[in-house]
Structure 1
């Protein structure tokens, strides 16, 4: 028995924000320089009354419609998000009910950001290959824009909101279709990408926290996301190329055997640094963030779906997926897209 990714669909909020719109707030902002560094010209932003479960449900409904998969066949639901509707109950329970899935299923939240899709795939593989699930729905959904202070230029043009739904099952194809996996964690860098009062440790923080402005002119509060860009860049270039080679070694292949590398869509500068370190041609390195930004846990499945739609990867392609970021956390795996990828 081998787990396989059958299909991926995604949704984006209707509202968009372009880099030109942001520039109206910051007239002295070097617009083209920022766009060049980030590779992002627009993002999709959730409205105040739109939340992760709303987009997760929409992505799943699109998946059911596109593939013809029967929701009654789903026997496990995984939801990866760092922007849950509530700390309790879990978002997976909310989505199970709204989708009308069977009550005789498992439903579980995974709290992990930019590497979350890789870890969730690893959990899904274990559930399927141990016989605990046969037809699994994996939803990633994040609305990081809700963490962003509007006057924080360091992240204002970076994070976009989205949800993706991945259908998984056991495969009839011989050999391993998904995996093996490698993982990495360095909690000593937790403060480099953090929302300080987002959980119980910050529960006693004032309802109206005090704003502060750093030496670079970025304004935020402790309820907003903080990112140490330099430290994250150094971490990425130190760990991610090595993780990619480790994943290849564990799979018994070389980088030359990989048809395409699909990384977490962090920013153009970060991705270009990884690609150069690997010495990969651009046609074998998937980048798609120009119109959606960094969508956190959703960036890899969206990138896979878009690369498949535009022909950069095809059925039968051996693809290496790598996620990295908040935690600090990273993970990588290889997968072979089935011949019927995109169907139930």
Structure 2
């Protein structure tokens, strides 16, 4: 049997950079210093008006192919995680097959998950490879949340950035992704949602948990999301460690979805982790939803902070509510 292994990763962030300093000029009444203390975010990349998730995904994939000498014809399956597809239909992954010039006998599908999506994608790729039908999976995460956010929305504009990551998942002789654990609680659907654009009549749609303060299509109840996270994630870590037959002390790094610094700090304190064991990488790109984990992994690789002996835990959590975790050893040969 073959197993999925996380290969090279390429990141693409839109050309336009929006800094806190720029926002301060536009909105003098916004306390950007306090916002930065809470979010840990100083800048975000924002997609152009005519730039969609597939455009970011194509650039990330082209960068992956070029920098790591990958033949596009060697790809057997495309997995695209996005909550901002180009169209309700067709499947955006089908558009990517054509735009990337891949074979027509590849599989291609979208899955609509946000903050837990990268871990879910790893599990899907692992299942495909263990099943023996594919050897190389292109796992893509691409989001343009900025298109859901009104320009005067202080709470969301200062957090979410756009971006895409392309990760090559390859067949390997030994497992490096183990102990996958998942969680879902749809009672939290009203804490992070966009009700426009689907087929549910707006007057019958899920209602935001509290007053919708801003004009953005995207609604977020930050305090409720934090409360959910500090309850669900510690249990997820316990379950993942138990499934891997490990204690939490045996985990070298805890790699979390990069939501905001406040949320991550509360998790770190709740779990009793040092800053070194729970790295962050969101200051210059913001919360890129499904792409935060591959961005973090790429950052750690570039800094030489990952090696083959380390046991790390990947944890995604958020919109849905949805959460997922696994144990991962980075066996990619640079």
TM-score range, shorter chain: over 0.9
Q: 1:256 Cα shift?
A: 1.6
1:9-158 aligned within 5 A: 9-158=10-159
The secondary structure found in structure 1 opposite 2:115 is: coil
The secondary structure found in structure 2 opposite 1:303 is: helix
Any idea what the Cα deviations from partners look like across 1:259-285, whole Å, max 9, x if unmatched?
211100000000011111111111111
The secondary structure found in structure 1 opposite 2:25 is: helix
1:1-344 aligned within 5 A: 1-172=2-173, 174=174, 176-202=175-201, 218-221=213-216, 224-340=217-333, 342=334
Does the 8 Å contact 1:259/1:313 carry over to 2? no
Q: 1:314 Cα shift?
A: 2.6
Q: 1:24 Cα shift?
A: 2.5
Q: 1:243 Cα shift?
A: 0.8
Could you tell me how far apart the structure 1 residues matched to 2:330 and 2:221 are? 36
The secondary structure found in structure 1 opposite 2:169 is: strand
Could you tell me how far apart the structure 1 residues matched to 2:54 and 2:202 are? 23
Alignment length, in residue pairs? Answer: 328
Specify whether residues 103 and 235 from structure 1 end up closer, same or farther in structure 2 by C-alpha distance, changes over 3 A only: same
Does the 8 Å contact 1:79/1:138 carry over to 2? yes
Q: 1:28 Cα shift?
A: 2.0
* TM-score normalized with structure 2 length: 0.94
Could you tell me how far apart the structure 1 residues matched to 2:21 and 2:308 are? 38
The secondary structure found in structure 1 opposite 2:200 is: helix
The secondary structure found in structure 1 opposite 2:320 is: coil
* Comparing 255-264 and 94-103, the one that deviates more: 255-264
Any idea what the Cα deviations from partners look like across 1:85-139, whole Å, max 9, x if unmatched?
0010011000010100000110000111111111111111111101121111110
Q: 1:30 Cα shift?
A: 1.6
Any idea what the Cα deviations from partners look like across 1:300-325, whole Å, max 9, x if unmatched?
01100101111222344222110011
Could you tell me how far apart the structure 1 residues matched to 2:283 and 2:332 are? 29
Could you tell me how far apart the structure 2 residues matched to 1:204 and 1:48 are? 28
Could you tell me how far apart the structure 1 residues matched to 2:190 and 2:120 are? 21
Q: 1:25 Cα shift?
A: 3.1
Correspondence for 1:209: none
Could you tell me how far apart the structure 1 residues matched to 2:71 and 2:203 are? 45
Q: 1:203 Cα shift?
A: 7.4
Any idea what the Cα deviations from partners look like across 1:236-270, whole Å, max 9, x if unmatched?
11111221221111111122211211100000000
Does the 8 Å contact 2:184/2:321 carry over to 1? yes
Q: Give RMSD over aligned pairs.
A: 1.7
Does the 8 Å contact 1:141/1:297 carry over to 2? yes
Could you tell me how far apart the structure 2 residues matched to 1:77 and 1:37 are? 36
Could you tell me how far apart the structure 2 residues matched to 1:86 and 1:93 are? 11
